C-alpha cells in the first residue's frame, strides 16, 4: 500500500478542526442544562447539580 505525501497532515488538520468544533458546541451549554433532574445520579450530586437527599429521621419507612 502506497501512502501519499501530505495525507497525514490533512487528516491531522481535519481531526483538529473537528475537535475544536466539538468543544465549541459544548461551550454553548452547561452540564446542568443537559441533566434530566429526575435521573440525577451520584456524580451529578458531587458536581453540585442537586443536593443529596436527606432521609427523614424518625419517620418510619413503609415496606414495599
Tell me the pTM. Answer: 0.45
C-alpha cell read off for 17: 478542526
Mean pLDDT, all residues of the chain:
76
Q: How many Å apart are CA 1 and CA 46, to the nearest integer?
A: 51
pLDDT tens for 1-32 read: 555 666 789 999 999 999 999 999 999 998 77
Q: How many Å apart are CA 35 and CA 53, to the nearest integer?
A: 17
Q: How many Å apart are CA 42 and CA 32, to the nearest integer?
A: 14
Q: How many Å apart are CA 10 and CA 12, to the nearest integer?
A: 5
Amino acid at each position: 500500500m502506497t501512502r501519499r505525501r501530505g495525507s497525514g497532515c490533512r487528516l491531522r488538520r481535519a481531526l483538529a478542526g473537528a475537535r475544536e468544533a466539538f468543544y465549541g458546541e459544548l461551550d454553548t451549554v452547561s452540564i446542568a442544562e443537559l441533566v434530566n433532574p429526575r435521573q440525577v445520579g451520584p456524580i451529578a450530586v458531587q458536581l453540585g447539580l442537586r443536593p443529596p437527599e436527606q432521609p427523614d429521621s424518625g419517620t418510619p419507612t413503609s415496606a414495599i
